[in-house]
Structure 1
Amino acid sequence: MQVISLEQAARLLHDGDTLLIGGSGGGHAVPEALIKAVAERFQAEGHPRDLTLLHPVGLGDMDSQGVGRLAHPHLLKRIITGALVNTPAIQRLARDDLVEAYTLPQGALSQLMREMAAGRPGLLSHVGLHTFVDPRYGGGRQSPSAREDLVELVELAGREWLFYKPIPVDVAFLRGTTADEDGNVTMEKEAVFGEMLSMAQATRRYGGVVIVQVERLAQRHTLPPKQVKIPGMLVDLVVVDPHQRQSYVTDYSPAYAGELRIPLQDIPALPFDARKVIARRAAMEL
């Protein structure tokens, strides 16, 4: 494992590469500094160009952070994600047909990471049948230029299924809290772990480069083994951002990281409105 600068990391992306980014909505475990470094390189040099961007969860703050930083014509060729709602700038590119845009089920994309990691041919699922993801009803396309079929309708054992094709990865941007000198990564300050492990495995399966953004470095053999979420054998490079935030609105909350539980009386009650009713209905399904 080697520690490099953000600028060096951004230069590892080549024109036409597929970039996989980990993290979750609201900035949770998002490698923001790496994303910003790519945007700054493009603005300075006009490269990398024609990237395919892959992230199962929408990554943005409804404004300018997250993958919205990459919303420049010619920087992105294609985006495949579970949601565009977090990134209005990407939405505009899709609306103006300046990028090939696809939205596929977040859970299906998450499971696809595991299938890719295992070297299997793709994901077979009933999820998405008879919705806009079904190739008979659009195949998840969100712009006219998105012509390739990423999802196929197949029949197996007398049933219809959707087959989600694998997406080979050239570079992965992931995030953790601490990396040791051997590249082992822990996530003790992160609110979510997400698909970081399977993303690293999938990237290495396709011969890609795994780059992990962390807050700090540790001496080898000092991290608790049970806390390691990405083994060092899967990590090629590490960048350090000592100022990374837990989310876009929180520097650090021990409650978000699972260190403690806030007393319920300290949490303001939600007003009884449609949002609360929807949340209750969702909780009833758990």
Structure 2
Amino acid sequence: MDKRIATLAEAVADIPDGASVMIGGFGGSGAPIELIHALIDRYLATGSPRNLTIINNNAGNGHVGIAAMIEQGMVAKMVCSFPRSADPRVFTDKYLAGEIALELVPQGTLAERIRAGGAGIPAFYTPTGFGTDLAKGKPVAEFDGRSYVQERWLKADFALIKAETGDSLGNLTYRMAARNFAPLMAMAAARTVVQVSRAVEPGGIDPEAVVTPGIFVDAIVTVPDPAHEEDLNRANAHHPKVTA
């Protein structure tokens, strides 16, 4: 039952080529930067994993985190709501060059598709996107005089998320807005890997405060002082580091 993993490298060692990976975060808030960078380091050392499908709210910023994964050529497809955010140059260049695919999903629909995946609901109807290109090819039904588009659940092979506190059984709490997509992704992935800022023993989290129960978590690695995407981008950081 002890789900603690000693190193970041071990935490991401099982992700294979072609995997679908949900990555938590709303912009930089809640983004598991260290897990992402550990996956990039593994790719640079071994050439794997590649051809990944990444599911996130956006397509990364600058040259760190998800943007760095895209820049290294690890990502075959992005499923996201905001492919163009504060500094989307990496994704934009790859997309215009035909080197990465995009599935654009409205933000609320993205969250609900992930929630449905975790809840075992294969499909649902939403008015969002009706009459637009995003609804092309999807079933449409009318309810109470309004047209709705059918959307399918969204599941993944892996979820990489960031939490504030976790115990050895996998129970998690989050810090403020860093919670965002993480609890939904933990439920919708076949294997959930979490970086936590603080690790405690069982009983160290008030049961009433648990947000994600340990049943949805497979591995925890402690990162006491995690990096923040915005701070890294303000410092013009790159991963891997650019040397002269």
- TM over 0.5: same fold? yes
Structure 2 match to 1:19: 21
Root-mean-square deviation (Å): 2.0
**Aligned with 1:249 (options 231, 234, 237):** 231
The equivalent of 2:222 in structure 1 is 240
**TM value normalised by structure 2:** 0.85
Q: Which runs of 5+ in 2 are unaligned?
A: 233-244
Q: Which of the two has higher C-alpha Rg?
A: 1
Q: Which residue of 2 aligns with 1:169?
A: 156
Identity over aligned residues, as a percent? 26
* Higher relative contact order structure (alpha carbons within 8 Å, sequence separation ≥ 6): 2
Query: What displacement does 1:68 show?
Result: 0.2
Q: CA deviation at 1:17?
A: 0.7
Structure 1 pair 190–40 and aligned structure 2 pair: CA distance change class (3 A) = farther
With structure 1 as the length reference, what TM-score do the two structures score?
0.74
Aligned residue number for residue 284 of structure 1: none
**By how many angstroms is 1:47 displaced?**
0.6
Unaligned runs of 5+ in 1: 136-148, 251-286
Give distance in 1, aligned partners of 2:72 and 2:200.
40
Judge conservation of contact 2:163–2:197 (CA < 8 Å) in 1: yes
Task: Choose the corresponding residue for 2:184, options 195, 198, 212.
Answer: 198
Please give the residue correspondences for 1:126-165 in structure 2 after superposition, counting only pairs within 5 Å: 126-135=127-136, 152-157=138-143, 159-165=146-152
Q: Which residue of 1 aligns with 2:58?
A: 58
Shift of residue 192, structure 1, vs aligned partner:
3.2
Instruction: Give the match's secondary structure for 2:103.
Output: strand
Partner residue of 2:124?
123
Structure 1 residues 25-104: aligned runs within 5 Å: 25=27, 27-55=28-56, 57-58=57-58, 60=60, 62-72=61-71, 74-86=73-85, 87-104=88-105
Please report how far the alpha carbon of residue 195 of structure 1 lies from its aligned counterpart in structure 2 after TM superposition: 2.5
Quick one: structure 1 residues 248 and 73, their matched pair in 2 at CA, closer, same or farther if it must change by over 3 Å?
closer
Shift of 1:40: 1.4
SS of the residue corresponding to residue 201 of structure 1 reads helix
* Offset of residue 166 of structure 1: 2.4
For the residues of structure 2 that align with 1:12 and 1:21, how far apart are their CA atoms? 16
Could you report, residue by residue, the CA deviation over 1:222-258 in whole angstroms, capped at 9, with x for unpaired residues?
A: 21222211111111100111121466239xxxxxxxx
Contact 2:63 2:71 in 1 (8 A): no
For the pair 1:109 / 2:91, whether they are aligned, the reply is no
Q: Match for 2:90: what amino acid? A: A
CA contact (8 A) 1:123 1:165 kept: yes
Aligned length: 227
